[in-house]
Structure 1
Amino acid sequence: MSAPVVEMRDGAVELGGRPVLRGIDLAVRPGEVLAVLGANGSGKSTLVRALLGLAPTCRGEVVLFGTPLRAFGA
């Protein structure tokens, strides 16, 4: 099994002091497709922004191609 392309371990995001995401664990490997489903305002866009380093995580870690996101300067 190949290493994940993107991974989030125990991720959490707060916006304006309010918890938006918490306890997120996911790994997407090469060739896999990920669908993020949920109601309006459930945090789908925030999850994608956190995976890209555009929304800071307050807990947990995002890893891209085996390298922690913080190592990219995000």
Structure 2
Amino acid sequence: MGGLREVAAPFLVPGPAGVAIRARLRVSGSDAAVLAEAGVFLGSLAADAEDDFTALVDLLLQGLGASGVAGLAPPCTAGARP
């Protein structure tokens, strides 16, 4: 038992072989209205989350000040000392 196992030859995994099915749902007028309202609601949640994230980043950057924000930038390699 304590021996090393043999390394298998490299191989390529084949791409997906499934079939894509594109179907259109046939919904009633009231179902379509509910789905539209759900889409509007979910879209507003996403927009609110993005606004909250942007506000948080702005708040953090304000707290850091100019020198702190400059420290977040990647270092410039031109003229860098070894």
Give the TM-score range, shorter chain.
under 0.3
Which entry has the higher C-alpha Rg, 1 or 2?
2
Output the TM-score relative to the length of structure 1.
Answer: 0.22
Greater strand fraction, Structure 1 or Structure 2: 1
**Relative contact order (alpha carbons < 8 A, sep ≥ 6): 1 or 2 greater?**
1
